[in-house]
Amino acid sequence: MKATTPRWRWWLAALLLLAADRATAGVVEIDGVGDRRVVAVGDVHGAFDALASILRQARLIDEDRRWIGGDAILVQTGDLLDRGHRVLRVLDLMMELEEQAAAAGGRVIVLLGNHELMNLLGDLRDVNPEVFARLADGRSEPRRLALCQRLFEARKRAAKARGEKARRPTRAEREECLNAHPPGLIEYWRALGPEGRYGRWLRQLPAVARIGDLLLVHGGIAPSFADWQPEAVDRQVHRELAAFDDAKRILLDRRLVVETADLGELRRVVRELLAQPPAEGVEMAPLPASLGAVMEAEEWLALRADSPLWFRGYTRWSDEEGRANLSSILAGQGVSRVVVGHTPEQAHRIRPRFDGRVFLIDTGMLQTVYRGEPAALEVHRGQFKAIYLGLEEVLTAAGPTLPVVAAQD
């Protein structure tokens, strides 16, 4: 029997063609830096004070949190969001520094992390409740009531389409809906939506940066993606985000979901749409490409365990595995070293691995969760230096040199 292509794949292919010109992220590739400093900072998770402190220590901002780094390049490797309660202030700071650095001849590059991806796809499980509370205002209560009403109406329409009798929601169901949408949650959704202040900015962040012979990425490049260039990774991730946004817009227009619907809810609704038989004598119109694409989400690059946003091999590999795998990865990417965050270091120190070809820079700076401390990796004139509060360490392939020298103010 001749093999057939699943219909989802036709829709996915169509979507990718349609979205090819819609990916808005700017791919970051800088051929050389000369005498410019490159400073990389790992996962922040809302640790605003820690972030500001390490940027001051690295001589990138002053006491007023204004850019003083000149032509330096600051790269934050993702996961600004979740867990900490000062996420919004972190976002504000990075957005402000991005503009200030550009005006001074420098550059601020923030990469997408898996937690940015989770939030943009509606997975808010790790958002600190205080973040919602900070966004609540005098209209939050009527917004919650109206959203729950729209949600119940959408469920009624779905029940009728299935040939089931629609019923009124019980008091318990209404209370459950309100509890699931605390004050500020709707406002957070809107702020991170395609038209929201933070959502617009987050959607244009790159997934990978290549600066000279240095590759910076949140999780890492797995062997399965060794030959995927930064532009290819970046475009694919943003096409998948566009698929989610398009599908949600279509279902919102049809009043089949509400604005707080996540990827799982979109897939459930599309699945129900596909299960409905067409009316007799009525030809089914083709399903929009984005609705088909969300049904393939388990195969999206952005969500795979070996995705550049989720990969943890550089931390988990043995020395032998790392040395064996990195040769093809570095050759495929055209770099000599990779800098990643994503996995907190137990010693809360920047750690070089595999003969100094990988630098692990997530030091768990969110004290309330990881008990770590802020750190930055500085690359300047071929030297790699770990910067902590009050001290600096020049790094070799095996780790820091001794003795530790006091950091400059």
Examine the fold and report which residue of 299, 330, 359 is the final residue of a domain before the chain moves on: 299
Is 14 within the bounds of a domain?
no
**Average pLDDT taken over every residue of the chain:** 90
Whether the bond into 288 is cis, omega within 30 of 0: no
C-alpha–C-alpha distance, residues 103 and 126, integer Å: 35
Asked if residue 16 has pLDDT above 60, the reply is no
Is 329 within the bounds of a domain?
yes
E strand segments, 203-319: 208-211, 214-217
The pLDDT, as a whole number, for residue 14 is: 44
Give the Cβ contact number of residue 211 at 10 Å: 23
**How many structural domains is the chain composed of?**
2
Q: Is the domain of 206 the same as that of 146?
A: no
Is 45 within the bounds of a domain?
yes
Q: Is the domain of 226 the same as that of 140?
A: no
Examine the fold and report which residue of 234, 267, 299 is the final residue of a domain before the chain moves on: 299
Radius of gyration (C-alpha) of the chain in whole angstroms? 23
Asked if residue 254 has pLDDT above 60, the reply is yes
Per-residue pLDDT of 114-157, as tens digits, reads: 999 999 999 999 999 999 999 999 999 999 999 999 999 999 88
pTM, to two decimals: 0.90
The pLDDT, as a whole number, for residue 164 is: 83
The pLDDT, as a whole number, for residue 84 is: 98
Span of 119-123, 211-215, 285-289, 384-388 with lowest mean pLDDT: 285-289
Amino acid 10 reads W
Q: Is the domain of 89 the same as that of 139?
A: no
Is 194 within the bounds of a domain?
no
Average pLDDT on 250-267 reads: 95
Phi and psi based region of residue 332 (left: phi greater than 0; alpha: psi -120 to 50; beta: remaining)? alpha
Span of 35-39, 58-62, 247-251, 394-398 with lowest mean pLDDT: 394-398
Phi, psi dihedrals of residue 154, rounded to the nearest 5°? -65, -40
Give the Cβ contact number of residue 167 at 10 Å: 11
Asked if residue 285 has pLDDT above 80, the reply is no
Q: What is the largest CA-CA distance in the chain?
A: 82
Instruction: Write the CB contacts of 256 (distance below 8 Å, at least 6 apart in sequence).
Output: 154, 157, 158, 269, 273
The pLDDT, as a whole number, for residue 129 is: 97
C-alpha–C-alpha distance, residues 249 and 238, integer Å: 16
Alpha helix locations (H) across 104-196? Answer: 114-120, 129-135, 140-161, 171-180, 185-192
The pLDDT, as a whole number, for residue 18 is: 43
Q: What is the CATH number of the domain that holds 337?
A: 3.60.21.10
The pLDDT, as a whole number, for residue 284 is: 53
C-alpha–C-alpha distance, residues 85 and 48, integer Å: 9
Per-residue pLDDT of 168-208, as tens digits, reads: 999 999 999 999 999 999 999 999 999 999 999 999 999 99
Q: Is the domain of 377 the same as that of 235?
A: yes
Is 7 within the bounds of a domain?
no
The pLDDT, as a whole number, for residue 286 is: 67
Q: Decide: helix, strand or coil at residue 383.
A: strand
Q: Is the domain of 170 the same as that of 306?
A: no
Is 156 within the bounds of a domain?
yes
Q: Is the domain of 124 the same as that of 138?
A: no
Write out the residue range of the structural domain in which residue 166 sits: 130-184+259-299
Q: Is the domain of 282 the same as that of 342?
A: no
pLDDT bucket at 99, cuts 50 / 70 / 90? very high
Per-residue pLDDT of 363-397, as tens digits, reads: 999 999 999 999 999 999 999 999 999 999 999 87
pLDDT bucket at 1, cuts 50 / 70 / 90? very low
Examine the fold and report which residue of 284, 299, 314 is the final residue of a domain before the chain moves on: 299
Is 4 within the bounds of a domain?
no
Q: Is the domain of 107 the same as that of 81?
A: yes
C-alpha–C-alpha distance, residues 209 and 338, integer Å: 10
Q: Is the domain of 58 the same as that of 98?
A: yes
C-alpha–C-alpha distance, residues 233 and 240, integer Å: 11
Give the Cβ contact number of residue 226 at 10 Å: 16
The pLDDT, as a whole number, for residue 225 is: 97
pLDDT bucket at 26, cuts 50 / 70 / 90? low
Asked if residue 351 has pLDDT above 70, the reply is yes
pLDDT bucket at 401, cuts 50 / 70 / 90? low
Q: Is the domain of 175 the same as that of 284?
A: yes
Is 44 within the bounds of a domain?
yes
pLDDT bucket at 275, cuts 50 / 70 / 90? confident
Q: Is the domain of 285 the same as that of 355?
A: no
pLDDT bucket at 21, cuts 50 / 70 / 90? very low
pLDDT bucket at 96, cuts 50 / 70 / 90? very high
Q: Is the domain of 167 the same as that of 313?
A: no
pLDDT bucket at 13, cuts 50 / 70 / 90? very low
Task: Kindly state the tokens that stand for 143.
Answer: 């917004």
Task: Kindly state the tokens that stand for 248.
Answer: 């949600």
Phi, psi dihedrals of residue 384, rounded to the nearest 5°? -110, 125
